[in-house]
């Protein structure tokens, strides 16, 4: 489904956090499949997927089952956020003002921005290592800078170029990873490929959580890449193309990581294991993954920049951010991340994973509140003008119901947490499995629905006809 704007849409995106009017809508819903499939065939999910057998000591079969369960469950939440894009026409984070208020939303916007800056920095480290693996004469720091510049150019050009690259990447990377699987499975270098590890409940639950949280981590910016689609795109179509692309692409990468480390001697770095396990085609695989990192990492830069713009615009409400503003902020973020990544420790990726686990504790309740508010409370009806007002318009500066549910949603997760900062008593009792995300969702969702549906101020707004837009 496309509009006449599809062929005339500028390559360099002119919008930032503002509403995308109907005349600027373009693209096809199937682009969401290629975006999220191609974007998830990358080194970081491969490294993350390997943890199921490396860190949690599962065997191949139970590792694959845990990976699939986690992505299939987490992908539902991620895709429900994506389906909001065409209906709202605005980025995900600024939409949070409708749930939390103009100032109440600042915390989640800041957390999302920090997380995606962390994603960006981690990926440029992987890009540097991949480039060094392909060309030994290129030092890792130089590779980091090259990877960051490539992602920066893509992110500055913006939305349409990101989609174009991922349409190409879906075919190239999809074929590449299938060929890689074929080579590894016919050149296994270990005798314990199928027997290394075993089922253990805590490891299985931890791997499920890791896969589910991978999907939930996209929630704060997934609708940024569907907001240009025509408003009459069916919600179901947006959901299924996003869900299938993300769940399939990320599951393939996670399983690829597990297969790699099981097919090579114990203790190898995951990306070194990829190079060894893929043998003759190893250099080609590393080139493909390098290109994937550069392309996919543009999403992290783009999401981080939109979050930062949203933060600034909350206070400088008369400021109308343009493509130039987005480019300037992108360059600042890029330079800061390059400096941090080049000077980082060898265990930068490990520290990043630790950081994401901590940040997701505070993002999970936001996911629950956002989805309940959109689908069950407001049913897709929002006053877009109020979202951009300094006082929050009909949504106010703070929404007490959302903030209370959010605080409780964080608190109930604490006993179930397993992060570098704190291990809860329940998690310790089940050998370190982190179920905080599941508890957070199950408590926050009904609590917010109960609080919001009894909000007399909301009912007055609804009956007064001030809310605009619909599913």
Q: Which of 435, 439, 450 is nearest to 410 (CA)?
A: 439
Chain-centroid distance, C-alpha 189: 34
**Would you say residue 239 lies in a domain?**
yes
CA gap 377, 268 in Å, rounded: 50
Coil, helix or strand at residue 418: strand
CA gap 106, 261 in Å, rounded: 41
**Would you say residue 332 lies in a domain?**
yes
**Would you say residue 358 lies in a domain?**
no
**Would you say residue 414 lies in a domain?**
no
In this structure, what are the phi and psi dihedrals at residue 423, rounded to the nearest 5 degrees? Answer: -120, 115
- Token output for 193: 């490929």
pLDDT band at 446 (very low <50, low <70, confident <90, very high): very high
Q: Based on the structure, what is the number of domains in the chain? A: 1
Chain-centroid distance, C-alpha 410: 20
pLDDT at 4: 43
**Would you say residue 415 lies in a domain?**
no
Q: Angle of helix 106-134 relative to helix 348-372, nearest 10 degrees? A: 140
Coil, helix or strand at residue 423: strand
- Token output for 352: 């990043």
Q: How far is CA 69 from CA 57, 163, 247, 450, in A?
A: 17, 28, 10, 29
pLDDT tens profile 251-287: 999 999 999 999 998 888 887 888 888 888 888 888 8
431, pLDDT greater than 80: no
**pTM for the whole structure:** 0.85
Which CATH number characterizes residue 210's domain?
A: 1.10.4160.10
Q: How far is CA 355 from CA 217, 367, 455, 460, in A?
A: 12, 18, 35, 41
Yes or no: say if 416 and 432 are a contact pair by the CB < 8 Å rule.
no
Lowest mean pLDDT among 48-57, 163-172, 185-194, 216-225: 163-172
∠ CA 313-329-169, rounded to 5°: 115
**Would you say residue 436 lies in a domain?**
no
pLDDT at 68: 97
Looking at the DSSP assignment, which residues form a beta bridge with residue 418?
423
Contacts with 363 (C-beta within 8 Å, 6 or more apart), sequence order: 108, 111, 112, 115, 216, 217, 219, 220
**Would you say residue 115 lies in a domain?**
yes
125 is in which domain, residue-wise?
28-351
118, pLDDT greater than 50: yes
- Does 427 or 104 have the greater pLDDT score? 104
Lowest mean pLDDT among 192-201, 287-296, 438-447: 287-296
CA gap 217, 135 in Å, rounded: 32
pLDDT band at 426 (very low <50, low <70, confident <90, very high): confident
pLDDT at 322: 76
Stretch 294-304: mean pLDDT, rounded? 83
- Token output for 212: 């589910």
pLDDT tens profile 359-390: 778 889 999 999 999 999 988 889 888 888 88
Stretch 455-461: mean pLDDT, rounded? 56
- How many CB atoms sit inside 10 A of residue 344's CB? 16
pLDDT band at 350 (very low <50, low <70, confident <90, very high): low
Burial of 62-71, coded b for 16+ CB within 10 Å and e otherwise, reads bbbbbbbbbb
Contacts with 297 (C-beta within 8 Å, 6 or more apart), sequence order: 119, 120, 123, 124, 127, 147, 151
410, pLDDT greater than 90: yes
- Token output for 95: 């939409």
Q: Which of 241, 431, 287 is nearest to 423 (CA)?
A: 431
pLDDT at 134: 77
pLDDT at 64: 96
- Token output for 380: 């897709």
pLDDT at 73: 95
pLDDT at 94: 85
pLDDT tens profile 154-164: 878 766 777 77
Say what percent of the chain tops pLDDT 90. 27
The per-residue pLDDT of the chain, averaged, comes to 84
Yes or no: say if 61 and 196 are a contact pair by the CB < 8 Å rule.
no
Coil, helix or strand at residue 6: helix
pLDDT tens profile 20-58: 888 888 788 888 998 899 889 888 889 889 999 988 889
Q: Which of 261, 281, 280, 287 is nearest to 272 (CA)?
A: 261
Contacts with 177 (C-beta within 8 Å, 6 or more apart), sequence order: 41, 252, 253, 256
**Would you say residue 196 lies in a domain?**
yes
7, pLDDT greater than 50: no
Q: How far is CA 298 from CA 64, 305, 330, 334, 453, in A?
A: 29, 11, 10, 10, 39
pLDDT at 50: 92
467, pLDDT greater than 60: no
131, pLDDT greater than 80: yes
Longest dimension (CA), the chain: 71
CA gap 309, 147 in Å, rounded: 24
CA gap 109, 303 in Å, rounded: 10
pLDDT at 352: 63
Stretch 168-184: mean pLDDT, rounded? 88
357, pLDDT greater than 80: no
């Amino acid at each position: 489904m496309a509009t006449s704007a599809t062929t005339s849409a500028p390559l360099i995106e002119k919008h930032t956090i503002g509403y995308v009017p109907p005349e600027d809508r373009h693209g096809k819903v199937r682009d969401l499949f290629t975006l999220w499939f191609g974007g998830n065939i990358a080194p970081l999910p491969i490294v993350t997927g390997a943890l199921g057998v490396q860190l949690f000591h599962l065997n191949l079969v139970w590792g694959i089952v845990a990976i699939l369960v986690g992505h299939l469950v987490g992908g539902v939440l991620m895709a429900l956020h994506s389906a909001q894009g065409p209906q709202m026409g605005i980025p995900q984070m600024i939409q949070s003002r409708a749930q939390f208020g103009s100032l109440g939303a600042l915390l989640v916007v800041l957390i999302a921005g920090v997380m995606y800056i962390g994603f960006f920095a981690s990926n440029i480290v992987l890009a540097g290592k991949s480039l060094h693996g392909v060309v030994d004469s290129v030092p890792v720091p130089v590779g980091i800078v090259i990877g960051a510049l490539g992602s920066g150019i893509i992110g500055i050009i913006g939305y349409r170029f990101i989609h174009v690259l991922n349409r190409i990447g879906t075919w190239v990377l999809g074929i590449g990873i299938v060929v890689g699987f074929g080579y590894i499975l016919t050149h296994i270098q270990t005798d314990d490929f199928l027997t290394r590890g075993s089922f253990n409940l805590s490891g299985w639950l931890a791997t499920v959580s890791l896969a589910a949280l991978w999907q939930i981590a996209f929630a704060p910016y997934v609708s940024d890449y569907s907001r240009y689609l025509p408003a009459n795109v069916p919600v179901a179509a947006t959901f299924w193309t996003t869900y299938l692309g993300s769940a399939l692409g990320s599951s393939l990468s996670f399983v690829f990581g597990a297969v790699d480390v099981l097919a090579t001697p114990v203790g190898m770095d995951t990306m070194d294991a990829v190079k060894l396990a893929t043998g003759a085609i190893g250099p080609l695989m590393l080139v493909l993954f390098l290109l994937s990192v550069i392309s996919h990492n543009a999403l992290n830069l783009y999401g981080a920049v939109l979050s930062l713009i949203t933060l600034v615009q909350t206070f400088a409400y008369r400021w109308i951010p343009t493509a130039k503003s987005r480019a300037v902020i992108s360059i600042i973020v890029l330079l800061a991340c390059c400096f941090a990544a080049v000077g980082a420790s060898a265990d930068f990726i490990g520290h990043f994973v630790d950081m994401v686990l901590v940040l997701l504790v505070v993002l999970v309740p936001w996911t629950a509140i956002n989805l309940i508010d959109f689908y069950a409370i407001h049913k897709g009806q929002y006053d877009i003008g109020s979202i951009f007002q300094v006082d929050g318009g009909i949504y106010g500066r703070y929404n007490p119901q959302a903030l209370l549910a959010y605080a409780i949603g964080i608190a109930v997760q604490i006993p179930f947490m397993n992060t570098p900062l704190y291990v809860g008593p329940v998690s310790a009792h089940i050998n370190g499995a982190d179920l905080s995300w599941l508890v957070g969702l199950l408590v926050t969702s009904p609590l917010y629905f109960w609080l919001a549906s009894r909000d007399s101020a909301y009912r007055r707004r609804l009956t007064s006809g001030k809310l605009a837009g619909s599913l």
